[in-house]
Structure 1
Amino acid sequence: MRRRILAATGAAALLAGLLGAPATAAPATTGPSTVAAPPDIPLANVKAHLNQFQTIATNNGGNRAHGRPGYRASLDYVKGRLDAAGYQTTIQSFTYNGATGYNLIADWPGGDANQVLMTGAHLDGVASGPGINDNGSGSAAILETALAVSRAALKPTKHLRFAWWGAEELGLIGSTYYVNNLPSTELSKIKGYLNFDMVGSPNPGYFAYDGDGSSGSGGPAGSAQIESTLRAYFTSINVPVRDTAFDGRSDYGPFIRRGIPAGGLFTGAEGRKTTAEAQMWGGTAGQAYDRCYHSSCDTISNINDTALDRNSDAIAYAVWTLGGEGGTPPGETVYSDDFETDKGWTANPAGSDTATSGRFERGQAQATTYSGTALQLAPQGGTGSLVTGAAGGDPGANDIDGGVTSIQSAPITLPTGTLKLSISWYLGHLNNASSTDYLRVRVVGPNGTTTVLNQAGSAANRSASWQTATADLSSFAGQQVRVLVDAADAGTGSLVEAGLDNLTITRS
């Protein structure tokens, strides 16, 4: 990796906590769906590739630099793994400083050839060391992502292309050669380029290239979506991300100069971690992100496993999401929940509910009436629904009392395209209710919220009946969201019941 200048300021984590999920797994659509969920990339597999790069360097003069035998041996190792996995590989040669250099290009068969998503990392290191973090880490992470594509027999909407660049350390030579020698018609087919250079620094930061220009160095149109997608993964595991300068100092440079949207991740080089960053991410303030940057100690011991694991999963998440998530056909259901089984809904997700009874749960609701007014309904189909107190019986014993009750879905990863949500609902109450009582359904994403339903009560008998609410979720395409439901008996004590069933999200 060539010397980089980090942006002095950066965006804070996007709505951290709203999309919280365990850090050990990539975001995944829950429940039955035709959408292929992004995989959890095994850290052990990525480390196995790094060990191979270390052995190659050790056996070839201690480095994997341009023009040296260690570089070509690294390329041959990567190519062998890709060939065996079913990729169409091409070695592109060039000459620089009197030595032959090589790029390795690997295409996954299928996808729209006019819509190419490209993912790359430089494979060379400097002559002074084995280059395991810089940039064995990025090279190994995208290799394992490519192999995960093969294991999943992925059929993405876009055509996937991976690249390992030569001579980056000497001035982006390999990637520049590729871009400059690709016909303009082929360049126009590349709709996005993802770059990963140093993703396992031992004292790591978590940085994303500033695609949206929030720190003053944005990329071509479309780069903001790439940045947002990468940030969405880290938001889901509650890891804050800051901007790093998008100034062309790694292999994305030749792409953005030709107007191709780009983005990527970076864990830091010779810059020093600030006190605020150490408080945010852990590690040691005042020390370099990578004390072995461009030196002989950039060995297999110079890797932070947590950073490498998180970034590898984020790469896979971006490839699956931006590539079209398994090629879900238009018109197909991309998510559904009929509440017959537990798909990860969490009651009282913010810990702020005040209701003392009638709290939301997934259960078998019992039809309940009071003086001819239906308050609670049986599910639309099957035996399960989301309901405010499923016990039934005495109408006054299990309705909402005392304030607000809420429940939230597990993360839902949305594909690209035009998206529509549909959900069945009812709200029933007596004339002792008021306009402060309500049922509300919202969709919460990394960059905003859409209200699907906001139904207020009134001082009148309202008999519950199943109805349907819909919402356009296209603004959340390619993102991860949750569905948040809340209801309230917020005024004086009143009989209020609510329920939901048959949640679906479709793409047209």
Structure 2
Amino acid sequence: MHSPPQRGVRKRVAQLVTMVTVLVLSLTPSLPASATSLDDVFAKLLVKQVKGTNVKKHLDAFQAIATANGGNRAAGSPGYKASRDYVAGKLRKAGYKVTLQPINYVESWSENSAPVLAQTAPNAKTYAANEDFYTFPPSPSGEVTAQVQAVDVTLPPTPAPSSTSGCEVADFAGFVPGRIALIQRGTCAFVQKIQNAAAAGAVGVIVFNEGQPGRTEAYSVDLGEWRAGIPMLFADFAVGNELASTPGATVHLKVDANLRLGTEDNVIAESRFGDPNEVVMVGAHLDSVPEGPGINDNGSGSAAILETALQMSLYPVRYKTRFAFWAAEELGLLGSDQYVEKLTPADRDRIRLYLNFDMVASPNHAYKLYDGDDSDAVGSPAGPPGSDAIEKRLAKFFSGRGLATVGTDFDGRSDYGPFIAAGIPAGGIFTGAEGIKTAEEAALFGGTAGVAYDPCYHAACDTISNLNLTALDVDADAIADSTARYAFNLRSIPDRAAAVAARSAAPPAYTRDDAHAAR
């Protein structure tokens, strides 16, 4: 808790800032048109205040934390808790209302015995565990005998685009509660399919491979998800095809496993000023992978939004500004997903937009902006209405610096996913991960074509030496600019009523069925 003298100083400074704001407003008629908007005034001020050297100091602190705690800052580790405390302490001292929000993750999972999948009617057939099918870690234990019901499967399989089986709630319109859902692999995340099945009353789930070349066999993949609360299996195409083609097929399904959950904390910091019914949200994941300290992924995004928050803490923002430092992103977007899941509909609709910053200093960087309008008409769809405006706002900043940008898909690999699924406009910056830089990008941004944007992605070498400091400085300025502008001006973002309508028709949160595994 701050001492009374500190609070008094902060109150006087805040009053002074408010007086300056009133003065700026009173003078705007005499100012040039380019400097008459309050968002423009404060955006330019914040960009000057947010310095790359100070962002780098936070990254030095994250490196020191990792070094002192086994070399990483992964969820569930002492390094994560020390990172959490560092961020929360800085934000509290700056005057933010800070909340540590507990979220769950899988601490450990193991099987006591091999899973069971056997057809009991109309034929008797036992399938081979860990050959014809696998348990989906971290499936809860469960044993059930029930009729199988295929959900919007495509048989025979078709060439890409592949099956959308189970991706939409509407796919389960005729599903009979108490049955086992048989779902085909395809265009959305496994987790999305399983959660939809559980919501429809399924007592178990069998996901089977598509049947396309290279996607016929069963394999073991860790979902990082357990919240459906029902046993989950992944089967090869032959098993799924047989069950889907057998009228009235009934199976005995069993998973015998030990599932232990751990608890970690999101750090949520909210401005003291601003309309609480209109929220601007800015986020970055705070955790690393266990293999390394995660200084680029994603110390860079966390450090940049932290410095932005600290420098604007006394700004008399028009709209409540909320900074989120997510836990357990590397385990499947668990921090952001559970945050959005716990929001009431009213609280969800108060969030006017979400800005995501995940990896903003890749050593072989490109300036990539999330493709809010799907202007390339390739890959993932556009974000909810307003996402296009966010992309344009960020692009305008870079073009003002004489810098090029390229688009990057909302491919489900970062914390914007749950917000998009809730119909909340989203956008942000990404400088590249394990993908390979093209010759065209090298011409635009420098660096080396044919090499990964971040050769140390998810590796022990993602240290303080694994940064492009120029990209870090530029991106920190872009983050400051967009945050300040939206904190004062939301005219380009649809209102809450539009957000509600958008949410009902929102695209899937994730556009690849193995998006979690890819992170």
TM-score by length of structure 1 reads 0.57
Among candidates 84, 108, 111, match of residue 75 of structure 1: 84
Cα deviation digits, residues 326-368 of structure 1 (max 9, x gap): xxxxxxxxxxxxxxxxxxxxxxxxxxxxxxxxxxxxxxxxxxx
Question: How much does 1:114 deviate?
Answer: 1.0
1:130 corresponds, among 284, 293, 317, to 293
Partners of 2:422 and 2:468 in 1: how far apart? 34
Partner amino acid for 2:88? K
In the alignment, what sits opposite 1:120? 283
- Structure 2 CA distance for aligned equivalents of residues 33 and 224 of structure 1: 22
Distance across 2 between alignment mates of 1:96 and 1:274: 36
1:36 and 2:48 correspond = no
Amino acid across the alignment from 2:289: V
Residue identity in the other structure for 1:43: G
CA distance in 2, matches of 1:148, 1:57: 25
Structure label with greater radius of gyration = 1
User: 2:454 aligns to what?
Assistant: 290
User: Which residue is 2:373 aligned to?
Assistant: 212
Q: Is the 8 A contact 2:43 2:482 kept in 1?
A: no
**Shift, 1:154, TM fit:** 1.0
Equivalent residue letter for 2:375: S
Q: What corresponds to 2:69 in structure 1?
A: 60
5+ residue gaps, structure 1, are 1-27, 326-414, 418-508
Deviation at 1:248, TM superposition (A): 2.1
Q: Is the 8 A contact 2:321 2:487 kept in 1?
A: yes
Q: TM-score, normalised by structure 2?
A: 0.56
- In 2: Cα distance, 1:29 partner to 1:140 partner: 34
Aligned equivalents of 2:80, 2:37: Cα separation in 1: 43
| Residue among 229, 235, 243 paired with 2:407 | 243
Highest relative contact order (Cα 8 Å, sep 6+), 1 or 2? Answer: 2
Change in 2 beyond 3 A, CA 1:64/1:281: same
**SS state of the match for residue 475, structure 2?**
helix
Q: Is the 8 A contact 1:29 1:37 kept in 2?
A: no
Q: Structure 2 counterpart of 1:36, which letter?
A: F
Q: How does 1:251-400 map to 2 (within 5 A)?
A: 251-324=415-488
* Structure 1 residues 33 and 225: alpha-carbon distance in aligned structure 2, compared to 1, 3 A threshold: closer
Alignment check: 8 A CA contact 1:321 1:416 kept: no
Aligned to 1:409: none
Distance 1:274 1:80 in 2: 41
TM superposition shift of 1:33? 7.0
How far does residue 278 in structure 1 lie from its aligned partner after superposition?
A: 0.6
Per-residue Cα deviation, 1:212-242 (whole angstroms, up to 9, x for no partner): 1112321001111111111111010111111
Q: Which has the higher helix share?
A: 2
Tell me which of 342, 365, 369 is aligned to 1:181: 342
Q: Find the partner of 1:232 among 391, 396, 401.
A: 396
**How far apart, in 2, do the equivalents of 1:161 and 1:230 lie?**
19
Corresponding position of 1:86? 95
Q: What amino acid sits opposite 1:237 in the alignment?
A: R
Checking the alignment, whether the CA contact within 8 Å between 2:42 and 2:485 is kept in structure 1 is no
Deviation of 1:103 (Å): 0.3
Tell me if the contact between 1:324 and 1:416 (Cα under 8 Å) persists in the aligned partners: no
Between the two proteins, what is the percent identity of the paired residues?
A: 55
Q: Distance in 2 between matches of 1:138 and 1:230?
A: 15
Aligned residue for 1:188, secondary structure, equals helix
| 1:92-171 pair list within 5 angstroms | 92-97=101-106, 98-150=261-313, 153-171=314-332
Q: Distance in 2 between matches of 1:36 and 1:66?
A: 35
Q: Distance in 1 between matches of 2:348 and 2:33?
A: 33
Q: Tell me the residue number matched to 1:487.
A: none
Distance in 1 between the 2:316 and 2:425 partners? 23
With over 3 angstroms needed to count, the CA separation of the structure-2 counterparts of 1:173 and 1:235, relative to structure 1, is: same
SS at 2:312 equivalent: helix
Q: Is the 8 A contact 1:196 1:265 kept in 2?
A: yes
> Counterparts of 2:274 and 2:387 in 1: how far apart (Å)?
21
Matched-pair contact (CA < 8 Å) for 1:199–1:311: yes
**Aligned residues: CA RMSD:** 1.8
Would you say the 8 A contact 1:220–1:256 is kept in 2?
Answer: yes
Distance 2:443 2:58 in 1: 32
What is the aligned length?
Answer: 300
CA contact (8 A) 2:356 2:415 kept: yes
Distance (whole Å) between structure 2 residues aligned to residue 290 and residue 31 of structure 1: 38
Task: Tell me, in whole angstroms, the C-alpha distance in 2 between the residues paired with 1:145 and 1:106.
Answer: 12
More strand by share: 1
The unaligned stretches of length 5 or more in structure 2 are 1-31, 107-260, 493-519
Report the AA paired with residue 63 of structure 1. Answer: N
C-alpha distance 60-160 of structure 1, shift in aligned 2 (>3 A): same
Post-superposition offset of 1:29: 8.6
